[in-house]
Amino acid sequence: MLTHKTTTTIKTTYTGNLRTEATHLDSGATIITDAPKDNQGNGEAFSPTDLLAASLGSCILTIMGIAARTHNFSIDGTTAEITKIMSADPRRVGEVKITFNFPANNYSEKERKIIENAAHTCPAAKSLHPDLIQNITFNY
């Protein structure tokens, strides 16, 4: 069953020249997108598909952080290197490669399993089409 939220959370405005500005209504934070150079844009900001890849990485980090907090350990300082690979015909994101680099901590085998299991339960990942390849690497 779907849960319906009746409040608008984001307002996006097309500002011209293949650029948009999205505003998070609760916080007022804004994100600008620009079409990439290979698709008629200036490439001066994240493209919408860049944000899709970034959202996937941020979502996975957040879910891993929740799991780590729940089990009383930290992943603070963990970084994600994200590579978006476009496919043609139709033009779409075909693969997202994410490499997680953990700080110089010695995670136990149990903690590694918690981290990796959490990574695979990210709501953004579960929302993407199954044809999109999600290639995830963990560097401890």
Q: What CATH topology corresponds to 48-139?
A: GMP Synthetase; Chain A, domain 3 (3.30.300)
What pLDDT, in 10s, does the model give residues 34-81? 999 989 999 999 999 999 999 999 999 999 999 999 999 999 999 999
| Residue 35, number of CB atoms within 10 A of its CB | 19
d(CA 91, CA 4): 30
The answer to whether residue 3 scores a pLDDT higher than 70 is no
Domain ranges within the chain, ordered by starting residue: 1-46, 48-139
- Report if pTM > 0.85: yes
Q: Which residues lie across from 51 on neighbouring strands?
A: none
pLDDT cut 90: percent of the chain above it:
90
